[in-house]
Amino acid sequence: MKSSAVAPGALCLLGRGQRGMHGLAIVASLLFAQPGLAQENAGGGQSLDQAANDPTASLMSVQISDWYGFNYHNLSGVDDNTVVLRSAIPFQTGSLNHIFRITVPFITDHPVLDTGLSDITVFDLVTFDESWGRWGVGAVALLPTGGSDGGADQWALGPAFGFVARPAPGLLAGIFNQNLFHIGGNQALGQADVNISNIQPILNYQLGGGWSVGTSEMNIIYDWDASEFTNLPLGISLSKLHKFGAQPVQFNVQYEHDFYDDAPVAADTVRASVKFLFSTK
């Protein structure tokens, strides 16, 4: 596992003790930064339940997830678990619309990495509305908050871009791409540089009544140093949007299988998440 260039934080694109408390403080501050509740229509011609599944939508959210990996390739009797805190915050600079997202993973169980705060990822995407949907371009960064025992212990930076189309009522389809390239840091023994591209297909269909079905996180990873894909997942996601009073909350469960079997990585992953939606108005 240590030879892998991708820490849990990079996959979430996607430490211990006091560093873990600092990560919680970051997410808590994002949670209460904009207290308004999301409205039924999220703007851009989208309903709220569709925008909740659209990574380019101008909708503030705070999400808490649990990722459980099991049935490891090339290893028996091991599993892993990571609690992932993620917040998306839309903002404007002049006439440009931005989506800022931070992903904070906390490893609670792993066969090799230490428990505690892993590597944080952040990105800023400038989005543009079109008649067919929305596209965006920006930058993504990997922060070595997990150190050498809980992450890649490297700084990485690169471009991000993608689009989401609405080809039919209730249907979302698109691609989101993030690229991380090593710019500094001291790699742990046996750890390769982080030079990866993350390709995430987006497919989601509204079933009605707040229910939707689509693809899972499905972070397809290409390692430029290894010249091969090192994460080849296929998975499904089921979501339900529900209101507790005036507060909209989305519940989500996912199952995913990774077909890359040349390394000791989890073959199967189950994710469960709760996403709180807020208005920026």
Question: Is 174 within the bounds of a domain?
Answer: yes
Residue 191 per-residue DSSP state: P
Q: Which among 162, 252, 241 is positioned nearest to 202, based on CA atoms?
A: 162
Q: 180: which residues sit within 8 A by CB, 6+ positions away?
A: 10, 13, 140, 141, 142, 156, 157, 158, 194, 195, 196, 198
- Are residues 138 and 53 in contact, defined by beta-carbon separation less than 8 angstroms? no
For residue 3, tell me if it sits in a domain: no
Phi-psi region of 74 (alpha: psi -120 to 50; beta: other; left: phi over 0): left
Query: Which residues form the domain of 230?
Result: 8-278
Residue for token pair 């619309």: 97
Task: Tell me how far apart the alpha carbons of residues 35 and 99 are, in angstroms, rounded to a whole number.
Answer: 17
147 φ/ψ angles, rounded to the nearest 5 degrees? 65, -165
Separation between Cα atoms, residue 26 and residue 18, nearest integer Å? 13
| DSSP state for residue 187 in the 8-state scheme | P
Q: Can you tell me the distance from the alpha carbon of 218 to that of 224, in angstroms, rounded to the nearest whole number? A: 19
Return the structure tokens found at 22.
């600092």
Q: What is the pTM of this model?
A: 0.85
CA distance 272 to 262: 27
Q: Does residue 1 lie in a domain region?
A: no
From first to last of its 281 residues, the chain has per-residue pLDDT tens of 334 445 555 555 433 233 333 444 444 444 444 445 555 455 556 788 888 999 888 899 999 999 999 999 999 999 999 999 999 999 999 999 999 999 999 999 999 899 999 999 999 999 999 999 999 999 999 999 998 888 888 999 999 999 999 999 999 999 999 999 999 887 654 567 899 999 999 999 999 999 999 999 999 999 999 999 999 999 999 999 999 999 999 999 999 999 999 999 999 999 999 999 987 65
Is residue 99 within 8 A of residue 118, CB to CB? The reply is: no
What is the biggest distance separating any 2 CA atoms in the chain, rounded to whole angstroms?
A: 54
- CATH (domain of 248): 2.40.160.40
Rounded to 5 degrees, what are φ and ψ at 4?
-70, 140
DSSP state of 16: -
Contacts of 172 (CB under 8 A, 6+ apart): 50, 53, 54, 164, 165, 166, 202, 203, 204, 205, 214
> Does residue 2 sit within a domain?
no
Q: What is the DSSP letter of 37?
A: B
251 within domain boundaries: yes
User: Does 77 reside within a domain?
Assistant: yes
| Residue 90 belongs to some domain of the structure | yes
Other beta carbons within 10 angstroms of residue 128's beta carbon come to 12
Structural domains counted in the chain: 1
Classify burial at 262, counting beta carbons within 10 Å of its beta carbon; exposed 0-12, middle 13-18, buried 19 or more.
exposed
The 10s digit of each residue's pLDDT in 190-226 is: 567 899 999 999 999 999 999 999 999 999 999 999 9
Residue with tokens 């678990």: 81
Residue 71: inside a domain: yes
